[in-house]
Chains A and B, each alone.
Chain A
């Protein structure tokens, strides 16, 4: 690498794992020069969820304008870019491939290193962008559409998995239940909003794997219980009390997440808990974690709203720290739709 001072490295990052096309430029690991996000939410709304083929079609149209815009906003010339970071999983394969292919081609054309980034690690690293003073070690609670996990972040390239989801992720349960209640996509924020008007203790929904020391998650039982409840209410001819259902469901999810998160913080001896992933935008979860953190004297951080969504800046941040320990990719990099979180120690 040409630059002696790593803080001056310019990273171009690309993210296209689901329904946002995003590109960003970072200086060093923490300074966002631009972070352009083109969302497709309105396109997928009428289908009640993300349609993979349509998402891919949008990405191939959006990718170059988004990259062009991110350079313009950063006031950086493409030739000044030192490295290219890209999400290679998890996500929708066809969507990921657009970003991966463009990133590989840019890295090759510019003659700069390529860095394949795990989207979930990117979500954790979004916290470094929101909180400049944050440094490892800390505990991370990852709650996104497809994943729920507790990760002990011991260093920038040293993670230890405390546990992750066995079946459905929390985000999936939110989406499915929102759909059954007839709420428009994306369902998570709608449930969060409805829950504020409802009674969280109105309906007793189950909480799984709550025994001490178990850091795995399971939300499929909860999902079924809520769906069964809705069906039986409908069959009885009762009008659904949507606020109460939303609040009670959300309460079950949140209590499991909060309980395990603080147990993990304690077991690992951490003083900081960070929240990461799309569901981090859930105000109910954020509020409960904050309350519990205050009670226990634990520092609690979560990314700003925009950094909770799928965005390229967090990919650039993760990519930057990977580059410090030489974790680059070659031009054979492929998309891995089912990529998970795993232990890592560089």
Chain B
């Protein structure tokens, strides 16, 4: 069973074709070009590299967020339209969880941080236990500097992953003794990890609704937050339309 995996949640553009047994091909780059320009040509190329015809695919896995709102929508729009046209099952997988797939080792706390702007990150922490990935701390938005302090108080070795580490931690914040930043090639999202996670979900029979699937934004739009601040009474009465 070969599937296509897509991750456009950060500045990395990554696509992969994989089955449970092997990663057939992966095209990952962090360059100046936009996802909008490169994503479809990359999908075309990675299928060619893997010698898999698009009509031989058996599913699509897409990194669903959190991450760059626009990046997520480019990936998801492409994934949905392709799943629709080729009649394939589609699964959205957590961008944070896919990051933790870089380090399938026990005894380490994996702290995944995706850029949430203004010094903040979407943070989720994980631990591998007996071959299973467990969420330790559920996703939240936190100041990156505070997350690093928090990691210092953890009793186990900590590995930091995600684009917020690349942008805001490496070379900018001194890390406590028990904390290391993942090396560059393992720090950023990769479609290979999205594929492996997606394959598990697809094998378990999951098939997301392509008509309704949305990115996991975590945050509402700034306009909405501002509106509620200005209209506290009305905000209480009506549920915000963008509430997740």
Contacts and interface: CB of A to CB of B under 8 A. Distances in A.
A335 B73 CA distance: 13
Contacts of B241: 43, 54
A220 B81 CA distance: 42
A193 interface: no
Given A67-B84, A105-B81, A56 B70 contact: yes
Contacts of A102: 77-78, 80-81
A256 B217 CA distance: 46
Given A61-B212, A105-B78, A105-B85, A335 B36 contact: yes
B104 to A, nearest CB: 31
A110 B81 CA distance: 10
A106 B214 contact: no
Interface string A84-125: 000000000110011111111110111000000000000000
A155 to B, nearest CB: 31
Interface stretch (A45-53, A134-142, A168-176, A196-204): A45-53
B73 A97 contact: yes
Nearest to A40: B241
Interface string B78-110: 111110111000000000000000000000000
Interface residues of B, number: 38
A334 interface: yes
Contact of B73 (A64, A98, A333): A98
> Is chain A's binding surface mostly helix, strand, loop or mixed?
helix
A109 B36 contact: no
Interface of A: 43, 46-47, 51, 53-54, 56-57, 59-61, 63-65, 67-68, 78, 93-94, 97-106, 108-110, 330-335
Task: Kindly list the 4 A-B residue pairs having the minimum CB-CB distance in the complex, ordered from nearest.
Answer: A109-B85, A105-B81, A101-B77, A53-B221
Given A102-B77, A330-B41, 11 more contacts: A53-B69, A57-B214, A64-B81, A65-B211, A101-B81, A104-B40, A104-B78, A106-B82, A108-B43, A108-B44, A332-B40
